[in-house]
Amino acid sequence: MRTVIQRVSRASVTVEGKVVSSIGNGLLILLGIVVEDTEEDIDWLVRKVINLRIFNDASGVMNTSVMESDGDIIVVSQFTLHASTKKGNRPSYLRAAKPEIAVPLYEKFISRLEQELGKKVGTGIFGADMKVDLLNDGPVTIIMDTKDKE
């Protein structure tokens, strides 16, 4: 699983002109899934996301997590995170998992986040043409990949 995690002041997802999710302070997570991803990847990534200390404490230092800051989360599926641009100018998406594999893992990832946060997590609509609007706070943008645990 590959993610782009952005600390936001606000974020929303619109599909066919209708807002399907919106949050204030929190995280916008773009999530890409490959065939090799498993529930172990979900467990690792959820722990990292929930405990990532990228929110300011009372002193203005990035020292608190989304949970500690009572932030919200939106997760948007994005197969293009696994684009290969190695050859030519047209990206290849062969590594991205097909919906029959990706959807169950995407849903489990969201469910686990909700369990850990103790509240609903916003989402886009898997496979839809989505418009994502955000105000990146900082800016703070973190990239994580469960296959390259740096």
Q: Which of 3, 79, 109, 146 does the annotation list as catalytic?
A: 79
The SS3 assignment for 142 reads strand
| Helices 99-117/39-51 angle, 10° precision | 40
Asked if 79 is an active-site residue, the reply is: yes
Report which of 2, 11, 7 is spatially closest to residue 130, judged by C-alpha positions: 11
**Which residue type is seen at 40?**
E
Asked if 55 is an active-site residue, the reply is: no
Q: Which of 3, 6, 78, 146 does the annotation list as catalytic?
A: 78
State how far the alpha carbon of 13 is from the alpha carbons of 2, 5, 19, 24, 117, in Å.
20, 15, 6, 12, 20
Asked if 78 is an active-site residue, the reply is: yes
* Residues designated catalytic: 78-80
